[in-house]
Structure 1
Amino acid sequence: MTDQTLNGPDAPRGCPVAHAGADLARLYGPEVSTDPHAVYERLRKEHGSVAPVLLEGDVPAWLVLGYRDNRRVLDNPRQFSRDARIWRDWLDGRVAETSPLIPMIGWRPDCISQDGEPHRRLRGAVTDGLYAASSRGVRRHATHFANKLIDAFVDDGEADLVAGYAEYLPMLVLTRILGLPAAEGRSLVESCAQVLKGGEQALAHNDRIIEILGELAERKRLEPGSDFTTALLEHPAGLDPEEVVSHLRLVLLAAHTTTSNLLARVLQLVLTDASRLAGLVSGQLNITAVVEEVMWNSPPLAVLPGRFAATDLELGGHHIQEGDLLILGLAPGNADPEVRPDPEVSVQGNQSHLAFSAGPHECPGQSIGQSIIEIGVDVLLHRLPGLRLSVPPEDLGSTGSTWESRLDSLPVEFPV
């Protein structure tokens, strides 16, 4: 079958296999960078709950926009596999090994790249390691590093809470959990951001992360400690060296990216709403309720990679072919008018959002991330009484990519 046939009038309805000249929405570039939500809603109007899109390099995919369709994909690994080795465009040579999509979508020997028993074996090691780490003082580490970060700007009377706080607090806590030196963790912030951003530097930064974590694993083989790395090395599941490094990378990327983004969005919501700020300071409002609201309205990963159709099937009125790539629209799924006809209605107490994914691959470290956020907000508000935005709320901007929308800055001022 030729590209011309696939893109011509005889193409199956909604077929995402598209190349030069195809008129499909691109889930990257200027429009997504400035207003991804407008892109999602336009696609929903044009295609329904599932839309054909192009990813970076004009790689075709299906973007799942509907809440119920997202849950169907996430809950059914037999129909929608996480194993990229069945990705048809990869098998047919249409995706280069140097594609910036590979760090996010390509197969790795980790638990999120596999299903069934291999997944259960590896996820068990990760879950056990994270449980052990969370019982060894995550909240204490978060308190320590939150205070250290605040110490750096407390005498200035002003700060950018994205660049000076939210971007670094989760990574510094992760250095303790993984067993990395704090200085090394700081340098990894940029590399994690570049992998999510995509572009020419994504692969180089991904390689740098793997190199640093490979060296960490070697050190911990010789000098075990009370950390996640040692827990993986010593787990009864018997992870090989490549599996250990792959899971260190997975936890580092997933935990830092989602937690830093979520922390920034929680702080944005608190500082742009005087009643929420007053409620938190007085103790009348629980920070968990604010975090829950943000997870509905601004999930830290807007789009989650990726699933692959294990067979030909129908989804959202479209014919999905075996080997097609599907990416999960967590942000548009949370905003689906079929489940949230009035987005202004309170979601307090409703934990059925998609922010942490769902099904067998649901995020196993969400309690750690939530602890870091709760401590980060609590310490900040108590250390800096009188904290307020130094710009109008409408001046706060975000930059989107295929996978996320990050707050650019959060300038604040406070009495010294």
Structure 2
Amino acid sequence: MNHQTPSGPATGCPVAHGEGATRLYGTQAATDPHGIYARLREEHGSVAPVLLEGDVPAWLVLGYRENRRVLDNPLQFSRDSRIWRDFRDGRVDATSPLIQMLGWRPDCVSQDGEPHRRLRGAVTDNLYAVAGRGIRRHVTHFAHKQIDAFADAGRADLVADFAEYLPMLVLTRVFGLAEGEGRSLAESSNLVIKGGADALTHNDRIMGILGELAARRRAEPGSDFTSGLIEHHAGLDEDEIVQHLRLVLITAHTMTSNLLARALQLVLTETSWLSGLVSGQLNLSAVVEEVMWNTPPLAVLPGRFATADLELGGCPVKEGDLLVLGLAAGNHDPGIRPDPGVSVQGNASHLAFSSGPHECPGQNMGQAIIETAVDVLLHRLPGLRLAVPPEELTSTASTWESRLDSLPVEFTV
């Protein structure tokens, strides 16, 4: 832990960006991110100074209301990283692993206003189109194929054998990619999100595969997401097409695989949830909603950049400062959840899908993948149960997410 005694206002917030900052990466961040969030909240309040990989300074937004303010106000908190002062002034290298998550690209996530609306429209139109072309059929096909590989063994790891790759296999069909690309693309996508020395290499690999895909589909259009982007009336150029393929592929896979693993964890560790699903008293959307509140697939969302000097949570945020959004911390804000043990069934106001103009456009497709996958699994594996005590399950976090390491199960053959 790298923190000093904070100075500044009574909130505990420092008077300068990066002063008294805590590292949001490293050993403790990987094993106890919620412990860090709790300590930061106690020391600083709803906004805290942190250091990202490479000791890059940022404000971590911990409060639910403060997260909503940032997400819902792009005029004050832009997604355009070209105004990021530390990068603009040369303090963040272009090869930094952070650039894979924070760097500007010609995609809808990197822009606001009319450019954002134009590009997002192309993405949402085509996500709706592919979702209506049998997405649940694709999930069912690949779920059965994954289960076939371990069904006779009577035991499996539902992370490594199921959740880790299933969403990417579905996305290969949606994008018009070869099924054989699925596993390696899943691994590359996870490493881009994780960061570290290999992030740039894996990003380049993904971009190469998607560039070749776009060229093929331009020559031979199909009824897939890639062809839809190429043909959309928004008139995306070649770079915009490939960048949006990258954006959707990485985001959809990493978020959905993480969420699927967490949904299965909840079902198998809380017997009331499993019995409710089997008896029909509970539907899968309620399970997913509970997971969204308690373990959102992205714990920290990158990033926003202050367009002017302002105050947030008592902190003096300066023009060009980087803010990262603590979605997991915001969902556990004691101001809105004084008793985190109480179920949040029926409350969809979580931060897991972000909020405002940049709210995740693929959440319906992700929900369809998860609900179908869990349904197939429960029907295929009678007597499905956890093979270890729940307290033995572990997670590993990066700056941006916390992933379940494994989920060992047993079932009747």
Please give the range of the TM-score, normalised by the shorter of the 2 chains.
Answer: over 0.9
Partner of 1:14: 14
Moved over 3 A (4+): 7-13, 15-18
Query: Are 1:298 and 2:295 counterparts?
Result: yes
Tell me if structure 1 keeps the 8 A contact 2:158–2:406: yes
CA gap of 1:231–1:15, structure 2 versus 1, over 3 A, is: farther
Quick one: distance in 2 between partners of 1:156 and 1:123?
A: 45
1:346 counterpart residue number: 343
- Deviations 1:262-290 (CA, angstroms, capped at 9, x unpaired): 00000001001112111111212111111
Counterpart CA distance in 2 for 1:388 and 1:371 is 23
Matching residue's letter, 1:184 = E
The amino acid of 1:215's aligned partner reads E
CA contact (8 A) 1:67 1:336 kept: yes
Other-structure match for 1:81: 78
Shift of 1:17: 4.0
> Bigger shift: 311-320 or 343-352?
343-352
- Counterparts in 2 of 1:185-334, with a 5 A limit? 185-334=182-331
- Asked if structure 2 preserves the Cα contact closer than 8 Å seen for 1:281 and 1:382, the reply is no
Query: What is the deviation of 1:15?
Result: 4.8
Separation in 2, partners of 1:9, 1:151: 59
Q: Is residue 148 from structure 1 mapped to residue 151 from structure 2 by the alignment?
A: no
* 1:26-45 alignment, distance < 5 Å: 26-45=23-42
**Cα distance in 1, alignment partners of residues 163 and 182 from structure 2:** 14
Question: For the Cα contact (< 8 Å) 2:295–2:328, is it kept in 1?
Answer: yes
The answer as to whether partners of 1:15 and 1:52 remain within 8 angstroms in 2 is no
- Could you say if the C-alpha distance between residues 389 and 239 of structure 1 is closer, same or farther in structure 2, counting changes exceeding 3 Å? same
Length-normalised TM-score, structure 1: 0.96
CA contact (8 A) 1:27 1:53 kept: yes
Amino acid at match of 2:382: P
Say which SS state the counterpart of residue 299 (structure 1) adopts. coil
Q: Does 1:162 align with 2:159?
A: yes
Give the CA deviation at 1:326: 0.3
Matched, 1:116 2:80: no
Contact 1:213/1:245, CA 8 A, preserved across alignment: yes
**Aligned-pair identity (%):** 73
SS in structure 2 at match of 1:328: strand
How many residues matched?
407
Q: How far 1:117 sits from its partner (Å)?
A: 0.2
| Aligned partner letter, 2:156 | A
Give, in angstroms, the shift of residue 259 of structure 1: 0.4
Q: Distance in 2 between matches of 1:168 and 1:131?
A: 23
- Matched letter for residue 331 of structure 2: N
Cα distance in 2 for residues equivalent to 1:346 and 1:316: 28
Change (3 A) 1:377 1:41: same
Cross-structure match for 1:3? none
Residue 52 of structure 2, aligned match among 55, 66, 75? 55
Secondary structure at 1:355 match in 2: coil
Deviation digits for residues 110-136 of structure 1, max 9, x if unmatched?
001000000000000000010111010
User: How well do the aligned residues superpose, as a CA RMSD in angstroms?
Assistant: 1.6
Instruction: Give the gaps of 5 or more residues in structure 1.
Output: 1-6
Q: CA deviation at 1:14?
A: 2.2
CA contact (8 A) 2:13 2:45 kept: no
Give, as a single letter, the amino acid of the residue that structure 2 aligns with 1:350.
Answer: N
Unaligned runs of 5+ in 2: none
**In the aligned structure 1, how far is the partner of 2:199 from the partner of 2:359?**
25
**Per-residue CA shift, 1:340-393, capped at 9, x if unaligned?**
111122211100000000000000010000000000110000000101111111
- The yes-or-no answer on 1:129 pairing with 2:126 is yes
